Amino acid sequence: MNALHAITLAQTLSPGTDVSVLETTAAAGPRQSLIDASMSWLQSHLTLSWLFEQVVQYGPKLLYAIVVFVIGKWLARIVTSAMIRGARKAKVDETLLGFLNNLIYMLLFTLVCVAAVESLGVDTTGLTAVLAATGFAIGFALQGSLGNLAAGVMLVFFKPFRVGDVVEIESLTGTVVEIQICNTVLLTLDNVRIIVPNSKMTDGTIKNYSAEPQRRIDLVVGCGYNDNLKAVKKLLQDILAQDARVLQSPEPVVAVSELGDSSVNFVVRPWVSSREYWAVRFDLTERIKLAFDEHGFTIPFPSQDLFLHHPGAADGASTILKAA
């Protein structure tokens, strides 16, 4: 494109353009580039007077839009906090409060952004249509995220678990720290933070260990066939009775469950508070082992008897070795 074409383009874009500078540039020769012509046009128009006119014309609107945005954002936080305080006084569940806090603020912030753009003189009707089309395209591209959002709403309203509950989902066990719009944050027993998509929480099987106030401990304790069965049972019952954390209702169960290959197996099933489950389970396991040692009861473990036959032996006897 030569300089003449650049002059024609400048006149088309701006009918009132003073093309004297461009004509001078065009007279320099046909090899004058469009870039040189455009630079000459910009130098002739980007003047202090032009900049001052633009500031006078658009400055107040821009300043007004900034004020609307800053004040609107501040009001959005205040309104959101006030609504959450009111919901908390109404004893709304804390899990739902955290979700509503994010949702309400996002809606109010979107309204503030639209109001700020409208204060610039932009027709928000067309903008709304563009946003709707953009939202549809983004929603189609982010189907997984929208699925997590829908799953988050289900978790909040159906409440299969709450913040502070210990849950197991897809072999992950931890305490629920926060239920976000798209994710659920778990803290494992060894203090590792895990972020799980909400769709995984709703699609899989959820084990909530904190849903009920009481839990039953299931222990299997074996004793030897030569031990006094009644004495072993009485010892196990006494161990449970001496622990104040073991609930008397429902009544704990100590019973013979199986005559195994090498042991007589008891089931020991006390009921405890869900918060004390692991502490009681660990303590009972230790106390049972120490009590068995003290009373001389055996806890059988797998063993094998090996018979070695020596054909050359005079008496033809077999040598018996016992290996644990």
Tell me: pLDDT of 154 over 70: yes
Asked if 270 contacts 247 with a C-beta cutoff of 8 angstroms, the reply is yes
**Burial (0-12, 13-18, 19+ Cβ within 10 Å), 80:** buried
Which of 94, 114, 141 delimits the end of a domain?
A: 141
- pLDDT, tens digit (0-9, with 9 covering 90-100), for 10-50: 455 445 545 454 455 555 555 556 777 777 766 666 666 76
Q: What's the pTM value of the predicted model, to 2 decimals?
A: 0.52
CATH of the domain at 251: 3.30.70.100
Tell me: pLDDT of 310 over 80: no
Same domain, 122 and 75: yes
Same domain, 204 and 232: no
Tell me: pLDDT of 174 over 70: yes
**Burial (0-12, 13-18, 19+ Cβ within 10 Å), 148:** buried
324 is a domain residue? no
Mean residue pLDDT across the chain: 77
* 96 or 111, which is more confident: 111
Candidates 188, 153, 150; CA nearest to 169 is 188
Please state, in angstroms and rounded to a whole number, the distance separating the CA atoms of residues 43 and 166: 69
Same domain, 123 and 78: yes
Percent of the chain with pLDDT over 90: 24
300 is a domain residue? no
Over residues 212-239, the mean pLDDT reads 94
Same domain, 55 and 134: yes
Same domain, 161 and 113: no
Same domain, 136 and 69: yes
Same domain, 224 and 191: no
At residue 286, the pLDDT reads: 95
Same domain, 240 and 279: yes
Which of 208, 223, 250 delimits the end of a domain?
A: 208
CATH of the domain at 128: 1.10.287.1260
**Which of the given ranges, 108-112, 161-165, 173-177, has the highest pLDDT on average?**
173-177
Same domain, 60 and 41: no
Q: 49 CB contacts (<8 Å, ≥6 apart)?
A: none
At residue 245, the pLDDT reads: 94
Structure confidence at residue 115 as a pLDDT band (50, 70, 90): confident
- pLDDT, tens digit (0-9, with 9 covering 90-100), for 252-269: 999 999 998 889 999 999
Rg of the chain over Cα atoms, rounded to whole angstroms, equals 40
Count of residues in the chain? 324
- pLDDT, tens digit (0-9, with 9 covering 90-100), for 226-285: 999 999 999 999 999 999 999 998 999 999 999 988 899 999 999 999 999 999 999 999
CATH of the domain at 161: 2.30.30.60
**Burial (0-12, 13-18, 19+ Cβ within 10 Å), 129:** exposed
At residue 266, the pLDDT reads: 95
* Ramachandran category for residue 171: left, alpha or beta (phi over 0 → left; psi -120 to 50 → alpha): left
312 is a domain residue? no
275 is a domain residue? yes
Please state, in angstroms and rounded to a whole number, the distance separating the CA atoms of residues 99 and 249: 38
Least-confidence region, from 94-103, 196-205, 282-291: 94-103
Domain residues for 235?
214-295
317 is a domain residue? no
Over residues 132-144, the mean pLDDT reads 59
Same domain, 161 and 132: no
18 is a domain residue? yes
21 is a domain residue? yes
Same domain, 182 and 117: no
Tell me: pLDDT of 88 over 60: yes
- What is the tally of structural domains in the chain? 4
Same domain, 41 and 69: no
291 is a domain residue? yes
